[in-house]
Amino acid sequence: MSVAEVMEQLRADKESGVLAQLCDEHGVELLTLFGSARLYPERARDVDVAYQFRPGAPRDDLAVVNALGERYGDLLDSMPLDRAGEVARYAALGPADVLVELDGGVFARSQMRAFRDYCDTQRFRDLMVEVLAR
């Protein structure tokens, strides 16, 4: 599958509910599309998605990655939001498209938390750059 085909399949599965069902079966409450394929699929080399488990759900990353990989192929890169760093989480939730949101408000709350954490840790990133520049 090409990047464009993966994007087309993701969007079709979003509309049909297939993607939501797949996520629900694996305890995933939120799935976002981010990265270059979101805006420029013709130039992208892969498709970046990020997922977040429902509270209390088993966190089986391998099952999620395998299920997504079986359906969409090797061009799909998956990132678990609960273990991503502040910058990665902000990138995956800031300018992103929601593919699946099983519980209303999950995306907004996660996005606000990611923005807060990104801002709260900016001074540490600035200090690291300053130290490295010495």
Dihedral sign computed on CA atoms, order 47, 15, 31, 112: positive
Give ∠ CA 23-84-31 in degrees, rounded to 5: 20
Q: What's the pLDDT score for residue 115?
A: 87
Condensed to tens digits (0 to 9), the pLDDT of residues 48-82 reads 999 999 999 989 999 999 999 999 999 999 999 99
Q: Lowest-pLDDT range, 87-91, 123-127, 128-132?
A: 123-127
Q: Where are the domains of the chain?
A: 3-133
Q: 105 exposed, middle or buried (CB, 10 Å; 0-12, 13-18, 19+)? A: exposed
Q: What's the pLDDT score for residue 1?
A: 83
Q: Please compute Rg for the chain using Cα positions.
A: 16
Q: What is the CATH number of domain 3-133?
A: 3.30.460.10
Residues with Cβ within 8 Å of 83's Cβ and at least 6 positions away in sequence, in order, are none
Strand order in the sheet with 47-53: 76-80, 47-53, 28-34, 97-101
Alpha-carbon distance of 109 to 27, in angstroms, equals: 18
The two structure tokens encoding residue 75: 């061009």
Condensed to tens digits (0 to 9), the pLDDT of residues 11-55 reads 999 999 999 999 999 999 999 999 999 988 888 999 999 999 999
Q: What's the pLDDT score for residue 41?
A: 84
pTM of the model: 0.85
Q: What's the pLDDT score for residue 133?
A: 85
